[in-house]
Amino acid sequence: MDYKQSGVDIDAGHEVVRRIKGLARGTFTPGVLSEIGAFGGLFALDAARYRSPVLVSSADGVGTKLRVAFMAGRHDTIGVDLVNHCVNDILVQGAEPLFFLDYLATGRLAPDVVVQVVEGLAAACRDNGCALVGGETAEMPGFYGAGEYDLAGFIVGLVERDRLIDGRAIAAGDRLIGLPSSGLHTNGYSLARRILFDQLDLRVGTYLAEVGSFVGEELLRPHRTYLRVVRPLLDGGAGPCPIKGMAHITGGGITDNLPRVLPEGTAARVNRSAWKPLPIFAYLQDRGEVPDDDMFRTFNMGIGLILVVGAGEAERVLACLADSGERGAIAIGEIVPGDRSVQYV
C-alpha cells in the first residue's frame, strides 16, 4: 500500500499549490519577500514609515457557515468571510492589516474547491490591502466527511502606539454609532440552520418572499469589511482620531461584544428602536420563536461594528463616514455609569 491508497494524494496537493500561487501573488505588497511554497512567509516592515509600531494579530474561523457552503456547493465567498472577519477584529484596535495566512483541512483534497476558497481569500486580501503570504492545506482522511473541510485564518496588522484604540478613554456621555451589517456575517449559523433546515425543512434553493432572497443566497452573504470607511477616522484625514473604542459584533452579539471595550464603571445604553434589523433576523425570530435576549446575544441584528465617540464628535464622525461611502451609519445609544454591561431601551 502507498500513501495515495491510504487517502493522501500528494500530487493533488502540488496541483493546488500550483493553481493558487498566482492568486496569492496578486495580493503581494512591497513588504512581501517570499513566494508561496516556502516554509515560512517573509514580510519586511518598512521601519522608516513608523515612529513606534505595534503589531496586532488575530486568528478566527467562519463557524458552521461552512455547512451552508457545502449544501450550496459554493465556496468562493467563504474566503471573503474569513479575511474580512479577521480584518475587522484588528481594526477595532486601530490596526491596518499587513499580511494574512490560512489553514484549510479536509478529508480528501478537491483542487477545484480549494481554488474557489483561495479565490475568495485573495479577493478580500486585495480589497483590504493585505498580502496573502502563505498557508497550509492539510489532507486528513478519516477526520472529515465527504466534501467537507474546515477553514481558519491568521492576520497580522500594525498601528502606531499613540494611535492604539483600547477603550480606556471611554466615559459616561459618549455616544454609540452603529455601522450596518450585510447579514448574519459569520455568527449564529447553528441556530439559523436549526430553524431553517431542521425545523422548517427548507432548502438552500428555497425563496423567502419575506426576506426577498433565496435561503442559500441570504446565508452566504459575505461578512463586511469596515476598514475602508473607518480608515479616514484613523489616519487623521478628518482631524485627530475621535474614536475611543470599537466593537466588532460577532459571536455573542451586541450583548457580549460591546462590554469588551468598556472600562470599569461604565455601561452601554442601546436604543433598539434606532434601527430596523434586516428582514432575515425578523424571519428567524418569528419562525423559530426566539426570545429577544437570545436574538441580541446570538446575531448581530443588523449592526456589524459599533464606534464609541465623544458627544461633541458624533456629528463629525457620521459626516466623515458618509463621505467615505457609509450611508447607513446611525447613532444607536450612549455610555452611562454601570457595570460593563449592555442596557437595551
Give pLDDT tens digits for 34-65: 888 888 999 999 888 999 999 999 999 999 99
- pLDDT of 238 higher than 70: no
Give pLDDT tens digits for 302-339: 999 999 999 999 999 999 999 989 989 999 999 999 99
Domain with CATH 3.30.1330.10 in the chain: 10-163
pLDDT at 37: 81
- pLDDT of 14 higher than 90: no
Looking at domain 10-163, its CATH architecture is 2-Layer Sandwich (3.30)
pLDDT at 186: 95
The confidence band for 241, taking pLDDT boundaries of 50, 70 and 90, is confident
Give pLDDT tens digits for 250-276: 999 999 999 999 999 999 999 999 999
pLDDT at 235: 80
The confidence band for 153, taking pLDDT boundaries of 50, 70 and 90, is very high
Average pLDDT estimate for 173-193: 96
Domain with CATH 3.90.650.10 in the chain: 175-344
Give pLDDT tens digits for 271-295: 999 999 999 999 999 999 999 999 9
Q: What is the mean pLDDT of the chain?
A: 93
- pLDDT of 108 higher than 80: yes
Name which of 87-91, 119-123, 140-144, 157-161 the model is least confident about. 140-144
Percent of the chain past pLDDT 90, that is, above it, reads: 81
Average pLDDT estimate for 190-213: 96
- pLDDT of 76 higher than 70: yes
- Within 13 Å, how many C-alpha atoms sit on residue 123's CB side? 16
Select from 3.40.50.300, 3.90.650.10, 3.30.70.260, 3.50.30.30 the CATH code of 175-344.
Answer: 3.90.650.10
Average pLDDT estimate for 126-140: 93
pLDDT at 94: 96
